[in-house]
Amino acid sequence: MLDAKTCFQARTSRDSRFDGKFFTAVLTTGIFCRPICPARAAKEENVRYFENSQQALESGFKPCKRCLPEHAPEQMYPVVLKRMADALVTSQESVAQIASYFELSERQFRRNFSDAFGIAPTQYRLHHHSLLARKLIQNTTLTMTEVCFAAGFTSLRQFNQTIKQTFSCTPSQLRKSKGKEQKSSGIDIKLHYRPPFDWQAMLSFFQHRQLQGVEVVTNESYQRTINVGQHKGWFKVTHLPSGHALNLHVVLDDYKHLNYIINKVRRLFDLDADMNLIHQQLSTDPVLASSIEKNKGVRLPGCWDLFEFSVRAILGQQVSVKAATTLAARIASRYGDSNTFSNTDLTLLFPTVEQLSDASFEDLGLTQARIQTLRTWVEYYQNNAETLTHYQDLSVLEKQLVALKGIGPWTVNYIAMRGLSDPNAFPASDLGIIKALTKEDKKPTTKQIIERASAWQPWRAYATLYLWLSNAKKS
């Protein structure tokens, strides 16, 4: 938690760097705000500070109607804690079930979560659903039933009661300014971030790796097909520079998965990163400092689907980005489903692990060794997906996965870096890293690289990006 003096300075100057890092609650009005709220700043003696919006709601404060706390960027928590929170808000499973995924007892999970977030898991979940519901009610044309389940509520009764209790009005009263409800074939949602954010660098990264038929990346937007359970659709993301936000346009045949999609897109574009904090630590290294100075706001590109990305990472072993992308497109074309939505640019859905469970991978331009590695991986993933998504220690995960023939440390760390959005993943043997750290034609050893990178923790994945960028400048 930030100290009161820093919070006071941030809120009175409306410093956007602190947006989402804390919330200001005013005792005299019973309302809580973001530090960038345009309303006149309250006197310090009438203010309480909260680390997250859920804490403020739990304490009985109502969200501001001017700055809209539900639009604030998320906090940047350690990776395991972030996964705990994500599991709570994107799943209907019980706390006990979620705790088991992290190899914790329900009591341990509740204690760890409450210590980190200052609120019980069930209340955090409920308040998150409430804030998302208000955002959907006031900014989309979804029906109230669609909003209810898209926000994560399990029944209309729970939805109506919670909205009335949280916002002191009914869902229909919240929407009064939007007019009559109407069914929509697509919806738009703003996803806010904390600056700086180099949108063009993000698009460029994805553009060089776009999968024909599955993705379309231009200088203005990113779009792709998606498969959520048995439901299919697509989304398009564009930049809204004036509001420090991205616009997410989603077309889906069932919007009850919208909460999940929002969470995945935030990770895909790394919207919760605190780049000022990351830059501050990495800039102590002269090589990184030079790259950061020229490339501020470069974030960690994630992925939409972990299985898809893991296949692409294996295809990328010891070959160029272009070659790996071509091979992945061949797999999508042969084994993936056609996109049935009215988007002529997006024609394919990447195959699921079930669809590739009996794939031969023959006649695609792959070596027999790579084919065997893919078959081994598909079988392993089908039976052990939770091992990847709920790991607590990257070194332990690496030991487990390198036991599979054809999977090495580079592959594991690259999957962790972009597939799992682990900010501390580090493919130390990567040729780009070696090149960036080579001085006077003297290449560092892997051991020397790891030792040097110890000062970059827990942001080694970001350091990797900046080292790759430093090579581009050299070329």
State residue 238 phi and psi, 5-degree precision: -130, 170
Cα 400 to Cα 411: distance, rounded to the nearest angstrom: 13
Written as one letter, the residue type at 23 is F
Written as six digits, the tokens of 442 are: 């003297």
Q: What is the 3-state secondary structure (H, E, C) of the chain?
A: CCCHHHHHHHHHHCCHHHECCEEEEECCCCEEECCCCCCCCCCHHHEEEECCHHHHHHCCCEECCCCCHHHCCCCCCCHHHHHHHHHHHHCCCCHHHHHHHCCCCHHHHHHHHHHHHCCCHHHHHHHHHHHHHHHHHHHCCCCHHHHHHHCCCCCHHHHHHHHHHHHCCCHHHHCHHHCCCCCCCCEEEEEECCCCCCHHHHHHHHHCCCCCCCEEECCCEEEEEEEECCEEEEEEEEEEHHHCEEEEEEEECCHHHHHHHHHHHHHHCCCCCCHHHHHHHHCCCHHHHHHHHHCCCCCCCCCCCHHHHHHHHHHCCCCCHHHHHHHHHHHHHHHCEECCCCCCCCCEECCCCCCCCCCCCCCCCCCHHHHHHHHHHHHHHHHHHHHHHCCCCHHHHHHHHCCCCCCCHHHHHHHHHHHCCCCCCCCCCCHHHHHHHCECCECCCHHHHHHHHHHHCCCHHHHHHHHHHHHHHHC
Written as six digits, the tokens of 12 are: 């009175």
Q: How far is CA 366 from CA 210, 324, 352, 401, in A?
A: 19, 10, 19, 22
Q: How far is CA 54 from CA 34, 42, 62, 367, 398, in A?
A: 13, 21, 11, 52, 35
Written as one letter, the residue type at 167 is F
Active centre residues (catalytic): 33, 430
Written as one letter, the residue type at 292 is I
